Structure 1
Amino acid sequence: MAAEPLLSTRAQKAFVAIIAVQAIVVLVMISITFRFVAVANHVNLNDAQYKTLPCYLAIFILAEVFEMLMAFDALRLRNVIQLIGILCFQAAMLVFSSIQIHETRAALYGNTHLWHRVEPFLIVSPIVIGLSWFALMWFVRQLYHEFGWAIFHVVGANPAMKSMYEYYQIMICLLKLDFFIFVGVTMQLLIVVLDDDTAEFGLTVAAIPVVMILLIMAGYAVQREIKWLMTFSLVLMLAAQTYLSARPVRLESTWLTAVKTVYKLYRFYAPASESTYLSTRATLTTFTIVASLLLFATFGIGCKCFHDFDKGLQSSKMHGQYYKPVATQLKEAFLGN
C-alpha cells in the first residue's frame, strides 16, 4: 500500500514551517551576537572566558538541523511518539537558550557596553522558541488526530500489541536523542577544553562516527529483533553507567563521552578545574544530567523492548509506516479506486 505524500495536509506544512521560521530567527540572533563579540576590542574568543559564544552557536546550529530532520522523519512515519519527543526537545531548547543569557553575561563581565549591545538579541531567542513551542503544541494536537489511528492500522485492536509498538517507537526516539546529546557534549568539550594538537582531540572527533554506528546498531537490533545484538547494546549502556560512576578518569576520548557522571559534574565545580569550565559550566551541567537520564531511560525501555521480542511485532516494526490515512482510504473506496 502506498504511503500518503509527505506534507499533504495543512497541519503538517504548518508544523514544519514553524520549526523552519524559528531556526532562521534564532540562528540570525545568535550569529549577530557572535559577530558583535568577535569584533569587539579586548575580546579573544580563544580565551576560556569567552568560549560560551562559540559553544552556543555550534549547539544551536546542531539543534535546529536536528529538530528539522526529526520533524520530517516524524511526519514521514506518522509517528505521534516522535512528535511528542520534538515537543520535549523544544522545551529543552527553551531552557538552554535561557541559560545562555546568564552564561553570556558572566562571560562578558566587566564589558558592560558590549553586554547591553548583545542582550536584546539573546533575549529574542527564548521568546521565539517559547512562542514556537506553544504553536507546535497546537499542531501536534491536530496531527495526533490525523495520525492517531496509525498504530491501530499497524497492529490492530489488540491492546498488548499497541503497547509493545508504542514502547518500540519510544526506544527509537530515545536513540535519536542520545545521538544529539552525545554530539552536543562532544562539541562543547572540543571547543572549551581540548587543544586541537593533542591525541585526545583526534580521538574525541573519531568517537562521533563510532557512537553513530553503535546507536544505529541498537536501532537495527530492536527493529529486527536480533537478540544477541540487542543484548550487546544493553550491556554497553549498563557498563557505561557503571564504569562512569566508578572510574574518575578522562573519558572524552571514548564513545562514553555521551554520558557524564557525578565525577564529571564535580570537575565542573572543583577549585582545581573550575576555571576551564567557567563560562560553560551551567550548559555542560545541564547536558550532563540530561544525558545520564536519557541513557537510563534508553536502557530501561530497551529491556522492555527486548522482553517483547518474538511476540509477533516484527512485521509491524518493519512495515508499519506504509499506510494511508482513513480519510484517503474512504475517499478511494467511495470513488471505486
Structure 2
Amino acid sequence: MAGVPFLGSRAQQGFIAASTIAAIVVLAMISITFGFVSRYLPSFGPCAKRTLPCYLALFIYAGLFELLMAFDALRLRNVIQLLGIVFFHTGMIVFAAIQVHETRSSLSDRVQILHRVEPFVIVTPCIISASLLFLIWFGYQLYYEFGWAVFRVVGANPVMKTMFRYYQIMVCLLKFDFFMFTGMYNRFLRVQLLIIVLSTDSAEFGLTIAAIPVVFVLLIACGIAVQREIKWLMAISLILMIAAETYFVFKLVRFYSPSTAAQYATTRATITTFTIAAFLLLLISFGIGLRCFADFDKGLLQPKTVGHSAPGRQSAESKQEGGEPLEPRMSIE
C-alpha cells in the first residue's frame, strides 16, 4: 500500500465515514433529547439544567475532536493515533452509558418526560458501540497500510524504533490531554462547578480558574520540549504534571466530602469519571514523558524534526542510495 494518498484507500475512507456517521447520528439523538426537555420542561429544574445541556455540549465537542483527530492521523499515517482514537471512542461509550443513569436521576420527578427521552438516550451508547466495531476493522487494515511509516523515518535500528514509538505515544497523549482539559474539564466542569456549585468569592473558584491556563501552557510547553529535546522545559513540564495530579486528587475529595457531597449529587458519576480519566491520562503522560526525557540526546532529534516536511515534498532523505524514490517522510505532529 506504499504511495497511497490521503483518503485514497477504502480503509481510510471507511475509517472517516464510520466516525462521521456515528457523530451525526449521536448528535441527532442528543438534540432530540434536549428538544423534548426544552419543550416539556421550559423551566428546567436544577437537576435537568445540570445534566442535559452539558451532555449535549460535551458530545458536540467530542464528536468534532474525534473527526479532527481521525483526519490528522490519516494525514500523518500515524498508527499510534489511530489506536488512541479507538480508545477515545470506547471512552465515549462509557460516558454515554453513565449519562443514561444521570438522565434518569435528573428527570426522576418528571416521569412522563423521562419516558419520552429515555429511548434516545439509551440508543446513543448502542450507536457508538456499533461504530466502534467499524473503527477497529478499518483501523486493522490501516495498520498494514501505514506499516512502513516508522521505518522510513528512523530506519531498521530497533533501538531507534523503540525510542521513536515512545515519542509518538507521548505526542498522541498530549493531544488527548488537550481535549480532556480544554473540553471535558474546562468546559464541562467549568459549567458545572464554577457556574452552578462554586461561589465566585471562594478560594476553590480561584484555584479552578487558575488551573485552566496553567494546564494549557503545560501541554504546549511539553509538546515543544519533547520534540525539540529541551531538557529544562521538559523538566518544568513534568513538575507541573505532578502539581496537576495533586489538584485532581483535591477535586475528588471535594466530590465526596460530607460538607460538599450534596452539591454534586446529580452529576457526581460523570464528574468523577472524567476526573479519574484525566488523572490516569496525565499519569501515563508523566511516565511516558520520563521515558522520552531519558531518550534525549540519543540521535532522535533529527528524525523528529525532519518528519515535519509536508507530505508530497521530496527531500534528500526520501531517496535510497540507488536514487529510487521512497515515500515522503511521515510528519509526527
* TM-score (norm. length: structure 2): 0.85
One of 238, 241, 247 as aligned partner of 1:237: 241
Supply the AA of the counterpart residue of 2:219.
L
Identify the residue that residue 38 of structure 2 maps to in structure 1.
38
Identify the residue that residue 198 of structure 1 maps to in structure 2.
200
1:63 to 1:333, Cα distance in 2 relative to 1, 3 A: same
One of 273, 291, 299 as aligned partner of 2:286: 299
Note the C-alpha offset of 1:290. Answer: 0.9
Alignment deviations for residues 87-113 of structure 1 (CA, whole Å, 9 cap, x no partner): 100100000000000000011012111
Identify the residue that residue 85 of structure 1 maps to in structure 2.
84
Identify the residue that residue 68 of structure 1 maps to in structure 2.
67
1:12 to 1:92, Cα distance in 2 relative to 1, 3 A: same
Q: SS at 1:194's partner residue? A: helix
* 1:69-218 equivalence runs, <5 A: 69-183=68-182, 184-195=184-195, 198=200, 208=212, 210-218=214-222
Alignment deviations for residues 91-140 of structure 1 (CA, whole Å, 9 cap, x no partner): 00000000000000011012111111001111121111001101000000
In 2: Cα distance, 1:116 partner to 1:293 partner: 36
Alignment deviations for residues 15-35 of structure 1 (CA, whole Å, 9 cap, x no partner): 111111111111111111111
Identify the residue that residue 231 of structure 2 maps to in structure 1.
227
1:86 to 1:66, Cα distance in 2 relative to 1, 3 A: same
Q: SS at 2:6's partner residue? A: coil
* TM-score (norm. length: structure 1): 0.84
Note the C-alpha offset of 1:39. Answer: 2.2
Which fold has the larger relative contact order, with Cα–Cα distance below 8 Å and residues 6 or more apart in sequence?
1
Identify the residue that residue 331 of structure 2 maps to in structure 1.
none
In 1: Cα distance, 2:141 partner to 2:41 partner: 50
Alignment deviations for residues 38-69 of structure 1 (CA, whole Å, 9 cap, x no partner): 22247425x24541111211111111111111
Q: Please, which moves more after superposition, 200-209 or 308-317? A: 200-209
Note the C-alpha offset of 1:156. Answer: 0.7
Supply the AA of the counterpart residue of 1:141.
Y
One of 261, 265, 269 as aligned partner of 1:274: 261
In 2: Cα distance, 1:43 partner to 1:223 partner: 51
Alignment deviations for residues 169-215 of structure 1 (CA, whole Å, 9 cap, x no partner): 10011111111111212222222222399377798567545533321
Identify the residue that residue 248 of structure 1 maps to in structure 2.
none
Q: SS at 1:150's partner residue? A: coil
Q: Please, which moves more after superposition, 119-128 or 97-106? A: 119-128
In 1: Cα distance, 2:82 partner to 2:290 partner: 23
In 2: Cα distance, 1:209 partner to 1:89 partner: 24
Note the C-alpha offset of 1:273. Answer: 1.7
- Point out where structure 2 has 5 or more consecutive residues left out of the alignment: 313-318, 326-333
Supply the AA of the counterpart residue of 1:99.
I
Identify the residue that residue 251 of structure 1 maps to in structure 2.
none
In 2: Cα distance, 1:275 partner to 1:316 partner: 53
- Conserved 8 A contact 2:227-2:305: yes
The size of the alignment, in residue pairs, is: 309
In 1: Cα distance, 2:66 partner to 2:74 partner: 12
In 2: Cα distance, 1:41 partner to 1:151 partner: 55
Q: SS at 2:120's partner residue? A: helix
1:28 to 1:285, Cα distance in 2 relative to 1, 3 A: same
- Conserved 8 A contact 2:218-2:240: no
Give me the CA root mean square deviation: 2.5
- Conserved 8 A contact 1:106-1:279: yes
- Conserved 8 A contact 2:51-2:103: yes
Q: SS at 2:277's partner residue? A: helix
Q: SS at 2:185's partner residue? A: helix
* 1:238-253 equivalence runs, <5 A: 238-241=242-245, 244=246
In 2: Cα distance, 1:110 partner to 1:284 partner: 22
- Conserved 8 A contact 1:16-1:68: yes
- Conserved 8 A contact 1:36-1:118: yes
Supply the AA of the counterpart residue of 2:299.
G
Q: SS at 1:120's partner residue? A: helix
1:290 to 1:199, Cα distance in 2 relative to 1, 3 A: same
**1:17 pairs with 2:17:** yes
Q: SS at 1:195's partner residue? A: helix
In 2: Cα distance, 1:227 partner to 1:133 partner: 39
1:221 to 1:320, Cα distance in 2 relative to 1, 3 A: same
In 2: Cα distance, 1:54 partner to 1:149 partner: 44
Supply the AA of the counterpart residue of 2:267.
T
In 2: Cα distance, 1:213 partner to 1:69 partner: 21
